[in-house]
Amino acid sequence: APLVEVRGLHKRFNETEVLRGIDLDIGKSEVVCVIGPSGSGKSTLLRCLAGLETYDEGEVRIEGELLGYRERHGRRVRASSAEINRVRRNIGMVFQQFNLWPHMSALDNVMEALLRVRRFSRHEARARADLMLETVGLSHKGDAYPAKLSGGQQQRVAIARALAMEPHIMLFDEPTSALDPELVGEVLQVMKQLARDGMTMAVVTHEMGFAAQVADKVVFIDQGRIAVQGKPREVFHDA
């Protein structure tokens, strides 16, 4: 079965229907790039996959488990936050804003959740965090505070922090949109390497070159619906 299965997903904010019937599968080790105009619902879709938004109709399943709800006597009831967190443990998320803790070094940013959520010993957390910083090419910056790092370096720390939790899927919401143009490449490079290593990924992006080159599937969203989806060469006719 696909790692992510979305069926008939509808999401409303008040009167506005932002997602209007999304069907999407993401297979293991697949890279799906989500593209489309601003306001079309890309970020909302990703947040639904991450368990950060409720949804009104349809299903989101991660590794077969219904996210956000459970069935009771044939009716759907909201899952407890403990249940949602259990599914979310396997989902890593990277945002446009890096959201690092400013008062902690890069290394401590990566170690924090390992210590607090995973209950790793300091020794184990340190070893894992060192390895993750190495993965994103920042072994030499462990002691640096976020303010001393470039945007590209901060985003790579954010990726290392997410990877440290050993997610089964990584969700990226416009990970390079807040970066100066000259820093975009280093973040995309790390993402390409993750894709090569077999990470399952969903990426909301305006980087069409990345989508054309790295995606197994490109999903073009317009006004809350999938207008086109397919292999990059099917979606980008001129590619």
- Contacts with ligand ADP by CB under 6 A lie at 13, 18, 36, 38-44, 96, 174
**Taking CB positions, which residue lies at the least distance from ligand ADP?**
43
113-to-82, 139, 208 alpha-carbon distances in Å: 17, 19, 33
Shortest distance in whole angstroms from residue 237 CB to ligand ADP: 22
Specify the residue, 105 or 155, whose C-beta has the smaller distance to ligand ADP.
Answer: 155
Q: Decide: 234 and 49 in contact? Cβ < 8 Å.
A: no
3-state secondary structure of 98: coil
Q: Tell me how crowded residue 228 is: count the other CB atoms within 10 A of its CB.
A: 14
Q: How far apart are CA 225 and CA 239, in angstroms?
A: 23
Least separation in angstroms between residue 34's CB and ligand ADP is 8
CB 34 within 8 A of CB 205: yes
Nearer to ligand ADP, 13 or 101 (CB): 13
CB of 130 to ligand ADP, least distance (A): 31
Q: Of 96 and 99, which CB lies nearer to ligand ADP in the complex structure?
A: 96
User: CB 170 → ligand ADP: shortest distance, Å?
Assistant: 17
